[in-house]
């Protein structure tokens, strides 16, 4: 596929991006200038798997030159979201997503695989319609994708069940309200995946409820920690990025991490008792 000779990149973390493909990409999240492609599932091509209204397909706009990009359309509805799904739908979604993530991790064509979700205008995404992305990189070494201190929990876990632990991040990347979910082992059992999905939904609901903005933004980032054989996940609310980070790579560590963890714990207890 990559017949042209590759220029040397300046760093092991550099990723080549095709601006020719990028400029044709639809955009519905910030300006709303394009029609939503995922609202017209009949026009989608290169579909790998469908399960009800969940569609896993190749990304039509493979902007990353040395990578293969896939999209997971979560729902038929453009205004749907993780916070709204029934348990049944939520579990089905993450079982399918993690099955494809695992399949790609095992594919020798890729050196590393990333799996993430953008939500909201400050998330860096371009399409409002709820979806996630899985990308296989031909050249990126897996250990360049995270630092070990990324998954150090602040204090005691907020909740722990079925081999899955949810904590506040001790060393947040961008600053405020970041949470980490980590598995005891990998691969995950179906029960562990369901619990992971439940924890994600709790945190997303909590963050959206806490946010004062009309259109809150967040990201989910999944990491396969090869050396520890664990799956890790960061949930990050997105605000305008701190110039200390952008300019100097300095990390903000807020002084309310403990307080926020207590709040989330209470929120989960109240919501799970409401459910029962
Ligand atoms: Zn849509």
List, in order of start, the domains of the chain with CATH numbers: 19-143 (3.30.428.10), 147-275 (3.30.428.10)
Q: How many whole angstroms from 33 Cα to the centroid of ligand 1? A: 13
pTM of the model: 0.94
How high is the pLDDT of residue 31?
81
- Within the chain, how many helices (H) and strands (E) appear? 5, 10
pLDDT band at residue 5 under the 50/70/90 scheme: low
Q: Which positions ≥6 away from 259 have C-beta within 8 Å?
A: none
Q: Write the pLDDT tens digit of every residue in 71-109.
A: 999 999 999 999 999 999 999 999 999 999 999 999 999
pLDDT at 274 over 80: no
Q: How many whole angstroms from 212 Cα to the centroid of ligand 1? A: 25
Q: Which positions ≥6 away from 203 have C-beta within 8 Å?
A: 166, 179, 181, 235, 264
pLDDT band at residue 276 under the 50/70/90 scheme: very low
Sign of the CA dihedral with 241 first, then 242, 246, and 249 last? negative
State phi, psi for 112 to the nearest 5 degrees: -150, 160
d(CA 108, CA 137): 11
Q: How many whole angstroms from 39 Cα to the centroid of ligand 1? A: 4
Q: How many whole angstroms from 223 Cα to the centroid of ligand 1? A: 27
Sign of the CA dihedral with 140 first, then 142, 143, and 148 last? positive
d(CA 87, CA 82): 10
d(CA 134, CA 249): 26
d(CA 5, CA 28): 35
Mean pLDDT of the chain: 93
Q: How many whole angstroms from 221 Cα to the centroid of ligand 1? A: 22
pLDDT at 116 over 70: yes
């Amino acid at each position: 596929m990559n017949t042209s000779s590759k220029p040397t990149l300046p760093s092991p973390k550099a990723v080549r991006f095709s601006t020719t493909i990028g400029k044709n990409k639809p955009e519905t999240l910030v300006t709303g200038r394009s029609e939503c492609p995922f609202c017209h599932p009949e026009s989608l091509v290169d579909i790998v798997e469908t399960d009800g209204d969940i569609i896993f397909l190749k990304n039509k706009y493979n902007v990353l030159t040395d990578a293969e990009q896939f999209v997971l359309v979560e729902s038929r509805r453009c205004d749907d979201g993780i916070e709204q799904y029934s348990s049944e739908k939520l579990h089905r979604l993450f079982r399918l997503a993690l099955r494809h993530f695992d399949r790609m991790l095992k594919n020798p064509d890729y050196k590393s695989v990333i799996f993430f979700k953008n939500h909201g205008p400050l998330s860096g995404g371009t399409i409002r319609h709820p979806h996630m992305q899985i990308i296989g990189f031909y050249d990126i070494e897996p250990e360049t994708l995270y630092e070990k201190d990324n998954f150090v929990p602040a204090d005691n876990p907020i909740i722990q069940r079925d081999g899955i632990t949810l904590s506040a991040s001790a060393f947040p990347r961008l600053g405020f309200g970041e949470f980490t979910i980590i598995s005891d082992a990998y691969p995950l059992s179906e029960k562990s995946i369901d619990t992971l999905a439940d924890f994600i939904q709790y945190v997303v609901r909590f963050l959206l409820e806490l946010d004062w903005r009309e259109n809150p933004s967040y990201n989910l980032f999944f990491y396969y920690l090869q050396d520890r054989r664990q799956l890790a996940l960061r949930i990050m609310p997105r605000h305008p990025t701190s110039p200390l980070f952008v300019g100097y790579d300095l990390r903000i560590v807020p002084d309310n991490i403990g307080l926020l963890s207590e709040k989330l714990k209470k929120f989960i207890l109240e919501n799970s008792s409401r459910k029962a």
